[in-house]
Amino acid sequence: VECEPGYELWVDGCFLPCPVGEFRYGYKCLPCPVNCQRCVGSYPHECVECSNNYHLDMRHLCVRDCTDGFAPALDGVSCDACSSYCKTCLSKYRISCTSCFE
């Protein structure tokens, strides 16, 4: 089965693609998780492309891009300061340093 240009094959038919920030769920489009542009489901780890100023972390979740000295907070939308021992970090705790001051 082949779809007309501009349509996508989904299980039993051809459909218009879902808008950015939504994914196909049967015959309808549902919203992607927060801060996610493209996804394959509604769970946070099902995002495949994050919104601007966000990136996929090692858990495959969209988290805020933070500058040196800060790391994404657990809420994914804000940044926490690194420990004073860290130049860069994965979280605010001292054991999470990824680089140190010289």
Residues 11-49 have pLDDT tens digits of 888 999 999 999 999 899 999 999 999 999 999 999 999
Picking from 79, 102, 100, 77, the residue whose alpha carbon sits closest to that of residue 91 is 79
Whole-model pTM: value is 0.78
pLDDT tens digits along 16-25: 999 999 999 9
State the pLDDT at residue 80: 95
Whole-number Å distance between alpha carbons of 18 and 60: 22
Which amino acid, 88? T
Show the tokens assigned to 89.
């970090």
Cβ contact 90:96 at 8 Å: yes
